[in-house]
């Protein structure tokens, strides 16, 4: 009968030791009196009962276990430990409050149980107070909150001194991330003894308006610094917010500038309500740190608060300040703190302040130092730890293994990790955690994992840096090397499994720091360029900042040694930066539908390309909204809007805003959607020039129709048609009319689409240039296919396909065949479409066509056919996008398993290994740098590697870029094979127009390398007169710069006679830009001004927005190099494509900085929102200021 009752569901199981039976019985009585049900051994163990069965049933049927803690329970009760551990294993993260520790006397709780918040049931005035404390504790555990039922009284004051009672409630900095706060809790003592004087001094420093900006608490080891600092962080004075970092050298990955910046950027971002960027370069991370510091200090000041930055353990910093990218933590603390900021640092007197801290930094002021007196309690802890260290060193095999492995790894291993590493393979995680929770484990301390703080799995490190050093000395180099080999074997086993989802955090974080400390170069490079490992890090952290930091540290480590390692790291670094830029936009939304909204958010934020980031964020928002996470959806839409506004030019921004408006409509926020759409209309309405405004309005009509706003789309179509009435040139009308056909079709008006198609066809047939006419017919076929006009599509597609071979001068004749294939696929002619796509010679355009065919099959409901085509797409990007679309369709159809397989494959495809183009280009640039540095042997080796990589590039137009660099800078022993490969590449380029353009690039590279005669010989073989003239203009500019004015004038005159009469507007304008600079450099400023006028007028006649932008930008930069800064800035500022404008503005700003106009360069940099382009100016500005001797200002631009 007694056993039968234990199968009933009970609210609480009471775990206690025999010595505390009386107190436990009172607790059980009060709980049942309050209406709870309790499983209590003294009452439920009737004659005939089995105690082990009782405990087993309690672990299954009791909601929570109350552990009645006393010194006797913690010291003697092995059964008690088994009882609470059974509940702990059901809820290791503490989310459900399964274990409720209640202390009934003063006692030290350590091990796993120390990580669970306890209640104290002693030192209370009366029985009622005891009852109230007990019931409030259990109710708080059940509800997850401890808010009182009545308003608490206003505190009249704080009692000081006396014996320590229970700690006051923690008041951490609002916004501090829980993961790091958990670490601080584990550092902090349960009661801070005999430190009231120091706490008062810290509070006075924070509150006193007259106090300085820095204070440094300095003391020797074992003084109690970290105990004081962690207590202060958890119990700050009223009116302060504390952001903190505890430098911990014995915990790998927690003692350098990367860890410092990562932790504090998280904390400050939380206060401001900002998300941490998923990718930050070294300099970008520092700039973000200083920006957030200023912004948070200002934010706190507005709220009447003071921001405190606290850094403990400054002496344990393991950063090696060999360059700006690896500055010490001390150097990252502000020399001139923003108003309202106070900085508290703590550390030992030695080592001295790092050399990279400026002479005038506050840390070098001796007046900020406060000497911390030694705590006798810290000395007692030291004696206990050292005694335990000796006992463990000579203890059981398990004890020796645990000490050795944690010492060798420098902390960060979890119980699970240690179980895998122990020599005794029968050892379990339970064995390890049980040992570490006893007296034998007092030399260890537990911390929350840095990247996975909520998974309930603690990681272990030795309890003090001195203990770590003592342990290392006791093991010696040979034994530590053996332990390191065990760690390497363990790491390699996960690497062989391609870093599965259960990869330990130590192998993604701390292990790499161990390789750095060991200076293990080959292994370091291997792990720093392991793409699958960095995939797993991206999954865990949501960004690539940590991966990028590893590559940088590896570059610093192997600097000056193996050149191919440096090349490999440089190429990999570029790929790492780019790998998320082109993820298919549907991937985050698919993950959301599959029930992984957090992963959806992480992936969306990892996309950095400004032209796709906003779209991916918007798609992700819709995905997470559809699974019920409304707050995340709104947040993502806000980020999408911010991303669009930050980078996009007016015409592109307008289309982005209406697309975002469509997603906003899906969330029910109609008013916001209308505001966005109205703003988009206003943006295109302000574009100057009828043809440009018509082009932008037509494009906006398409985006508006696709977003579902039919009425607005039809109104925009009417507006665009009216604008086109004033455009007289047929080729300027053709493309917008094709867009209008598509817009009308998407808006559901086939009649309007048909009449627009008639008008578009009449216009296209009036275009005189065959290339543009054939391309226009193919484009119209594509648009008509959207409208379902099969007869028109068939007729136009056949005509375009028949005329495509006759195109001789088209820059991309493959585009025509792309439109033909896409149109045929859209009307269901899938086989003809596939055959057309297969005939496209350029892999890029072929892949785009195959993607459109896959989409058409998907729309027709043929997922099998769509997947067949998708898997055959040669380009990585096209294949990934197609697979993502199919995954989205599968998810929508409820095929979750198939959808997850497809989206995983799509994501892995998009982030696949470094492509040959990136590798070849990186190596070719390295060859150039080595040649200039006189490193001939290394340059030859790198050139051979680059040539092999170039041969793997399938697209000849892409292959020519690295080959041109190799031709200009490669060694003479490789010239024959390089020239043969270059000629083969040019011959396989489709169309004379493309071949001519590629040859001009080769000529430019050669003449910039000083090979003018060789460049001219190649230029003379260009068949197209305009391209020959452009090549000669480029050579003339370099000849003028190299002091050969007569030859420069001769070639410039020859080029000018051609470009002034050419009909090739873009390339004529680009040649004129070079000729302007040549004339200026040979002293003919009047002629330079005349040519600039012609070039500017020519640029403005170019219909295509991006081509017009390139022409204007090139002219502006040429004028800037010629010293015409005002005119140059005006022209570059008129570039319509904003990203192109920023790129040319960065080039112009660099010239301005080199010319000594430093303030003007700073102003230009401030106008550039793209950080990469802005960085170009700032780097040049810093160099120019340094050369001018202004070292203080030189540092500011790159801060």
**Over 70: is that where the pLDDT of 218 sits?**
yes
- Nearest CA-CA partner of 275 in 545, 657, 579, 549: 545
Residues 10-47, buried b or exposed e (16+ Cβ, 10 A)? bbbbbbbbeebeebbebbbebbeeeebebbbbeebeee
Q: Mark whether 323 and 189 lie in a shared domain.
A: yes
How much is the pLDDT for 564?
A: 64
Strands 99-103 and 119-120: parallel
Tell me what the pLDDT averaged over the chain comes to.
81
Which CATH number fits the domain that encloses residue 89?
Answer: 3.40.50.10140
**Over 50: is that where the pLDDT of 164 sits?**
no
How much is the pLDDT for 59?
A: 61
Distance CA 935, CA 804 (A): 49
885-903 pLDDT, tens digit each: 999 999 888 898 899 899 8
How much is the pLDDT for 810?
A: 44
Q: Mark whether 775 and 758 lie in a shared domain.
A: no
712-738 pLDDT, tens digit each: 999 999 999 999 988 888 878 888 999
Q: Which of 1091, 1126, 1161 is the last residue of a domain?
A: 1126
Residue 160 lies in a domain: no
How much is the pLDDT for 175?
A: 34
Q: How does DSSP assign 296-328, residue by residue?
A: HHHHHHHTT-EEEEEEE-GGG-----SSGGG--
Residue 631 lies in a domain: no
**Over 90: is that where the pLDDT of 1149 sits?**
no
458-501 pLDDT, tens digit each: 788 887 777 788 888 888 889 889 999 999 999 999 999 989 98
Q: Is 237 helix (H, G, I), strand (E, B) or coil?
A: coil
Residue 29 lies in a domain: yes
Q: Mark whether 1180 and 1043 lie in a shared domain.
A: no
Q: Mark whether 867 and 799 lie in a shared domain.
A: no
Name residues whose C-beta falls within 8 Å of residue 556's C-beta, 6 or more positions apart in sequence: 320, 322, 323, 325, 326
Name residues whose C-beta falls within 8 Å of residue 31's C-beta, 6 or more positions apart in sequence: 11, 12, 38, 134, 135, 138
Distance CA 1195, CA 1174 (A): 15
Distance CA 493, CA 1046 (A): 68
Which CATH number fits the domain that encloses residue 706?
Answer: 1.25.40
Q: Which of 767, 793, 809 is the last residue of a domain?
A: 767
How much is the pLDDT for 96?
A: 63
Q: Mark whether 746 and 673 lie in a shared domain.
A: yes
Question: Per-residue pLDDT averaged across 518-527, rounded?
Answer: 83
The total number of structural domains in the chain stands at: 8
User: Burial of 659 by CB count in 10 Å (0-12 exposed, 13-18 middle, 19+ buried)?
Assistant: buried
Alpha-carbon separation of residue 716 from 332, 687, 752 (angstroms): 53, 15, 13
Name residues whose C-beta falls within 8 Å of residue 385's C-beta, 6 or more positions apart in sequence: 442, 443, 463, 464, 467
Q: Mark whether 352 and 230 lie in a shared domain.
A: yes
How much is the pLDDT for 855?
A: 92
Name residues whose C-beta falls within 8 Å of residue 513's C-beta, 6 or more positions apart in sequence: 252, 253, 256, 318, 410
Q: Mark whether 815 and 756 lie in a shared domain.
A: no
Distance CA 531, CA 520 (A): 19
Q: How does DSSP assign 1038-1099, residue by residue?
A: HHHHTT-HHHHHHHHHHHHHHHTT-S-HHHHHHHHHHHHHHHHHTT-HHHHHHHHHHHHHHH
pLDDT bin (cut points 50, 70, 90) of residue 170 is very low
Q: How does DSSP assign 386-443, residue by residue?
A: HHHHHHHHTS-HHHHHHHHHHHHHTS-EEHHHHHHHSSSTT--HHHHHHHHTSGGGTT
- Nearest CA-CA partner of 890 in 873, 874, 870: 870
Structure tokens at 81: 């430990």
Q: Mark whether 1181 and 1079 lie in a shared domain.
A: no
Question: Per-residue pLDDT averaged across 862-871, rounded?
Answer: 93
378-394 pLDDT, tens digit each: 666 777 677 777 777 77
How much is the pLDDT for 167?
A: 39
How much is the pLDDT for 811?
A: 45
Q: Is the dihedral of CA 266, 268, 271, 273 positive or negative?
A: negative
How much is the pLDDT for 1050?
A: 92
Structure tokens at 800: 């375009």
Element (DSSP H or E) covering residue 485: helix 465-496
**Over 90: is that where the pLDDT of 168 sits?**
no
Distance CA 472, CA 263 (A): 28
Name residues whose C-beta falls within 8 Å of residue 574's C-beta, 6 or more positions apart in sequence: 918, 922
- The answer to whether 550 touches 576, Cβ cutoff 8 Å, is no
627-640 pLDDT, tens digit each: 888 888 888 898 89
Q: What is the dihedral of CA 607, 610, 611, 616, to 10 degrees?
A: 30
Q: Mark whether 761 and 780 lie in a shared domain.
A: no
Domain that holds residue 314: 179-374
Strands 413-414 and 240-246: unpaired
Which CATH number fits the domain that encloses residue 341?
Answer: 3.40.50
User: Burial of 1143 by CB count in 10 Å (0-12 exposed, 13-18 middle, 19+ buried)?
Assistant: buried
How much is the pLDDT for 1131?
A: 92
Reported pTM: 0.58
Distance CA 1031, CA 559 (A): 38
**Over 90: is that where the pLDDT of 668 sits?**
no
**Over 70: is that where the pLDDT of 784 sits?**
yes
How much is the pLDDT for 854?
A: 95
**Over 70: is that where the pLDDT of 989 sits?**
no
**Over 50: is that where the pLDDT of 151 sits?**
no
Distance CA 206, CA 208 (A): 6
How many separate helices (H) and strands (E) can be counted in the chain? 58, 13
296-327 pLDDT, tens digit each: 999 898 888 999 999 998 888 887 554 444 67
Residue 1132 lies in a domain: no
| Helices 690-706 and 650-666: angle between axes, nearest 10 degrees | 20
Q: Mark whether 56 and 185 lie in a shared domain.
A: no
**Over 90: is that where the pLDDT of 1176 sits?**
no
What are the backbone dihedrals phi and psi of residue 328, each rounded to the nearest 5 degrees, phi first? -70, 165
Structure tokens at 56: 């087993």
DSSP one-letter code for 63: E
The 10 Å Cβ neighbour count of residue 1137 is 22
762-772 pLDDT, tens digit each: 999 998 777 77
Give bridge partners of residue 341 from the DSSP assignment.
Answer: 307
Residue 159 lies in a domain: no
Question: Per-residue pLDDT averaged across 950-954, rounded?
Answer: 76
Which CATH number fits the domain that encloses residue 1011?
Answer: 1.25.40.10
Residue 153 lies in a domain: no
- Nearest CA-CA partner of 616 in 604, 627, 606: 604
How much is the pLDDT for 5?
A: 42
Using a pLDDT cut of 70, give the percent of the chain over it: 83
Residue 171 lies in a domain: no
Q: Mark whether 219 and 338 lie in a shared domain.
A: yes
Which CATH number fits the domain that encloses residue 403?
Answer: 1.10.10
Least confident of 270-279, 559-568, 601-610, 685-694: 559-568
- Nearest CA-CA partner of 1103 in 1068, 1066, 1131: 1066
Q: Mark whether 344 and 229 lie in a shared domain.
A: yes
Q: Is 669 helix (H, G, I), strand (E, B) or coil?
A: coil
Distance CA 97, CA 142 (A): 7
Distance CA 656, CA 658 (A): 6
Q: Which of 767, 788, 805 is the last residue of a domain?
A: 767
Residue 187 lies in a domain: yes
């Amino acid at each position: 009968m007694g056993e039968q009752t234990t199968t009933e569901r009970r609210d609480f199981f009471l775990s206690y030791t025999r010595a505390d039976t009386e107190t436990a019985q009172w607790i059980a009585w009060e709980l049942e009196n309050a209406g709870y049900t309790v499983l209590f051994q003294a009452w439920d163990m009737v004659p005939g009962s089995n105690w082990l069965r009782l405990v087993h049933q309690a672990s299954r049927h009791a909601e929570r276990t109350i552990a009645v803690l006393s010194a006797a329970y913690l010291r003697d009760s092995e059964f008690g430990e088994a009882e609470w551990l059974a509940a702990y294993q059901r809820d290791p993260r503490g989310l459900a409050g399964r274990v409720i520790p209640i202390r009934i006397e003063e006692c030290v709780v350590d091990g796993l149980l120390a990580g669970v918040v306890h209640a104290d049931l002693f030192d209370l005035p009366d029985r009622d107070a005891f009852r109230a404390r007990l019931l409030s504790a259990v109710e708080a555990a059940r509800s997850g909150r401890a808010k009182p039922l009545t308003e608490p009284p206003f505190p009249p004051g704080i009692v000081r001194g006396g014996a320590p009672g229970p700690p006051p409630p923690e008041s951490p900095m609002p916004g501090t991330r829980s993961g790091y706060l958990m670490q601080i809790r584990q550092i902090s003592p349960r009661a801070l003894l005999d430190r009231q004087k120091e706490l008062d001094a810290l509070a006075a420093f924070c509150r006193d308006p007259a106090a300085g900006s820095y204070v440094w608490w300095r003391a020797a080891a074992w003084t109690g610094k970290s105990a004081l600092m962690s207590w202060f962080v958890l119990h700050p004075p009223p009116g302060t917010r504390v952001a903190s970092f505890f430098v911990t050298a014995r915990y790998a990955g927690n003692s350098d500038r990367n860890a410092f910046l990562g932790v504090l950027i998280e904390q400050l971002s939380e206060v401001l309500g900002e998300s941490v960027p998923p990718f930050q370069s070294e300099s970008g991370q520092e700039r973000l740190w200083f920006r957030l510091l200023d912004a948070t200090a200002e934010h706190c000041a507005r709220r009447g608060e003071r921001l405190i930055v606290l850094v403990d353990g400054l002496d344990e910093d393991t950063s090696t300040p060999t360059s700006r990218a690896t500055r010490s933590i001390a150097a990252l603390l502000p020399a001139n703190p923003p108003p309202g900021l106070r900085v508290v640092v703590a550390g030992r007197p030695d080592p001295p302040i790092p050399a990279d801290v400026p002479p005038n930094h506050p840390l070098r002021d001796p007046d900020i130092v406060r000497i911390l007196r030694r705590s006798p309690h810290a000395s007692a802890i030291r004696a206990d730890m050292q005694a335990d260290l000796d006992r463990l060193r000579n203890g059981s095999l398990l004890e020796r293994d645990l000490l050795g492995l944690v010492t060798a790894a420098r902390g960060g291993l979890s119980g699970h990790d240690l179980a895998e590493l122990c020599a005794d393979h029968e050892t379990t995680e339970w064995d390890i955690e049980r040992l570490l929770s006893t007296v034998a484990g007092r030399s260890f301390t537990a911390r929350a994992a840095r990247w996975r703080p909520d998974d309930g799995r603690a990681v272990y490190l030795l309890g003090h840096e001195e203990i770590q050093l003592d342990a290392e000395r006791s093991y010696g180099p040979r034994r530590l090397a053996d332990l390191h080999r065990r760690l390497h074997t363990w790491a390699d086993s996960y690497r062989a499994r391609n870093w599965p989802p259960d990869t330990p955090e130590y192998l993604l974080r701390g292990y790499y720091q161990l390789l750095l400390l060991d200076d293990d170069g080959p292994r370091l490079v291997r792990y720093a360029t392991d793409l699958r490992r960095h995939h797993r890090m991206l999954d865990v952290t949501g960004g690539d900042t940590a991966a990028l930091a590893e590559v940088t540290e590896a570059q610093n480590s192997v600097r000056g040694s193996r050149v191919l390692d440096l090349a490999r790291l440089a190429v990999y670094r570029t790929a790492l930066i780019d790998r998320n830029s082109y993820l298919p936009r549907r991937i985050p939304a698919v993950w959301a539908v599959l029930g992984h909204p957090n992963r959806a958010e992480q992936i969306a934020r990892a996309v950095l390309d400004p032209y796709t980031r906003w779209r991916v964020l918007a798609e992700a928002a819709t995905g997470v909204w559809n699974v019920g996470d409304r707050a995340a959806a709104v947040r993502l839409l806000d980020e999408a809007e911010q991303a669009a506004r930050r980078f996009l030019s007016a015409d592109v921004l307008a289309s982005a805003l209406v697309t975002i408006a469509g997603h906003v409509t899906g969330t029910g926020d109609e008013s916001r959607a209308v505001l966005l759409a109205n703003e988009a209309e206003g943006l295109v309405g302000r574009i100057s020039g009828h043809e440009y405004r018509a082009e932008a309005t037509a494009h906006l009509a398409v985006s508006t129709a696709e977003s579902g706003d039919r009425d607005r789309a039809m109104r925009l179509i009417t507006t665009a048609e009216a604008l086109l009435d004033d455009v007289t040139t047929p080729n300027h009308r053709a493309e917008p009319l094709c867009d209008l056909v598509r817009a009308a079709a998407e808006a559901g008006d086939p009649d309007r689409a048909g009449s627009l198609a008639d008008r578009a066809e009449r216009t296209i047939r009036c275009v005189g240039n065959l290339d543009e006419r054939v391309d226009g017919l193919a484009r119209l076929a594509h648009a008509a296919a959207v409208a379902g006009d099969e007869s028109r599509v068939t007729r136009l597609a056949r005509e375009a396909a028949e005329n495509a071979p006759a195109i001789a001068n088209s820059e991309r004749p493959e585009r025509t065949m792309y439109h033909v294939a896409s149109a045929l696929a859209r009307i269901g002619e899938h086989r003809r479409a596939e055959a057309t796509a297969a005939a496209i010679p350029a892999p890029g355009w072929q892949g785009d066509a195959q993607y459109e065919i896959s989409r058409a099959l998907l729309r027709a409901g043929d997922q099998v056919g769509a997947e067949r085509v998708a898997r055959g797409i040669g380009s990585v990007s096209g294949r990934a996008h197609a697979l993502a679309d199919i995954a989205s369709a599968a998810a929508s159809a409820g095929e979750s398993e198939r959808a997850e397989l497809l989206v995983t494959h799509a994501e892995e495809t998009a982030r696949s290994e470094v492509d040959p183009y990136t590798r070849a280009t990186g190596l070719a640039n390295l060859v150039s740098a080595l040649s200039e540095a006189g490193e001939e042997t290394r340059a030859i080796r790198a050139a051979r590697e680059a040539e092999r990589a170039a041969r793997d590039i399938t697209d000849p137009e892409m292959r020519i870029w690295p080959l041109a660099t190799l031709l200009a800078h490669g060694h003479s022993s490789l010239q024959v094979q390089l020239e043969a490969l270059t000629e083969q590449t040019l011959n396989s380029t489709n169309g004379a127009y493309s071949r001519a353009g590629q040859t001009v690039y080769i000529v430019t590279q050669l003449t910039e390398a000083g090979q003018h005669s060789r460049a001219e010989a190649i230029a003379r073989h260009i068949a197209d007169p305009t391209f020959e003239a452009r090549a000669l203009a480029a050579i003339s500019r370099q000849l003028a710069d190299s002091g050969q004015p007569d030859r420069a004038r001769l070639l410039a005159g020859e080029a000018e006679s051609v470009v002034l009469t050419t009909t090739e507007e873009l390339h004529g304008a680009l040649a004129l830009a070079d000729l302007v600079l040549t004339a200026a450099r040979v002293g003919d400023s009047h002629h330079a001004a005349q040519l600039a006028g012609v070039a500017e007028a020519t640029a403005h006649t170019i219909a295509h927005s991006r081509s017009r932008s390139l022409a204007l930008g090139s002219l502006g930069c040429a004028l800037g190099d010629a010293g015409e800064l005002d005119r140059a800035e005006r022209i570059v500022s008129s570039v319509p494509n904003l990203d192109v404008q920023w790129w040319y503005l960065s080039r112009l700003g660099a010239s301005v900085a080199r010319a000594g106009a430093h303030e003007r360069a700073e102003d230009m940099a401030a106008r550039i929102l793209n950080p990469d382009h802005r960085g170009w100016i700032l780097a040049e500005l810093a160099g120019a200021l340094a050369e001018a001797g202004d070292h203080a200002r030189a540092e500011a631009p790159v801060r």
